Amino acid sequence: MTAKLREMELHHVDPVRLLFQSRHPGLSGYSAEPEWFTNARNGGIVLAPWLRGSVLATMEAKFVKDAYFVVVSVMGLYMTDEQASAQAQEFSNEVDGSTLDEAPDEDRQEFLLKVVDDLFPFLRAELYALSGRMQGVTGVMLQPRPLIEATSPD
């Protein structure tokens, strides 16, 4: 039986991408954007299938200031207790996309809102900590609640 998105809970969170680079002013102005910064998504969420129908959700933010470039990504592992129990008993390394594939659009929308509620506080804390590491620079603090703009891929 395939797990339902609405039954899934956050089981684990990791900061998966913490990138920071100073912008050294030179004779021709500040250094150019690094490629990793240009390619980063700002505020987007990516859902990916994982083991036994579980779902990996990644949320990313990027910020540029006069002194630095910074990109932070956090990833959450969502699964049901039944999936977690089965994974602990017998390891399987086969990715199973059935949960995402079979979910109706309204369940996906509801799940995405849950992901935002769960992961945004972690993203906010990691961005603040990373962006404040440079001496004399105050960390970037995102607003307490994100602004959500719903867009659907074409």
Tokens 């990373």 -> residue = 130
CA atoms of 139 and 133, how far apart (whole Å): 7
Q: Which two tokens stand for residue 24?
A: 């050294």
Report CA torsion sign: 111, 2, 48, 126.
Answer: positive
Are 47 and 55 in contact by the 8 Å Cβ rule? The answer is yes
Q: What is the pLDDT of residues 112-154, one digit of tens each?
A: 999 999 999 999 999 988 888 776 777 777 777 776 666 555 4
CB atoms within 10 A of CB 92: 10
Residue 111 confidence (pLDDT) = 93
Inside any domain, residue 73: yes
Q: Which two tokens stand for residue 58?
A: 């990644």
Inside any domain, residue 59: yes
Inside any domain, residue 144: no
**Domain of 28, in residue numbers:** 5-131
CA atoms of 97 and 88, how far apart (whole Å): 19
Inside any domain, residue 41: yes
From 98, 154, 109, 127, select the one nearest 40 (Cα to Cα). 127
Inside any domain, residue 76: yes
Amino acid at 44: G
Q: What are phi and psi of 23, to 5 degrees?
A: -105, 100
pTM (global) more than 0.85: no
Q: What are phi and psi of 115, to 5 degrees?
A: -60, -45
Q: What is the pLDDT of residues 8-47, one digit of tens each?
A: 999 999 999 998 888 776 655 666 788 999 899 888 899 9
- 64 pLDDT exceeds 70? yes
Inside any domain, residue 139: no
Q: Which helix (H) or strand (E) holds 96?
A: strand 95-96
CA atoms of 105 and 89, how far apart (whole Å): 32
> In which band, very low, low, confident or very high, does the pLDDT at 1 lie, cut at 50, 70 and 90?
very low
Inside any domain, residue 137: no
Inside any domain, residue 127: yes
Domains in the chain, number: 1
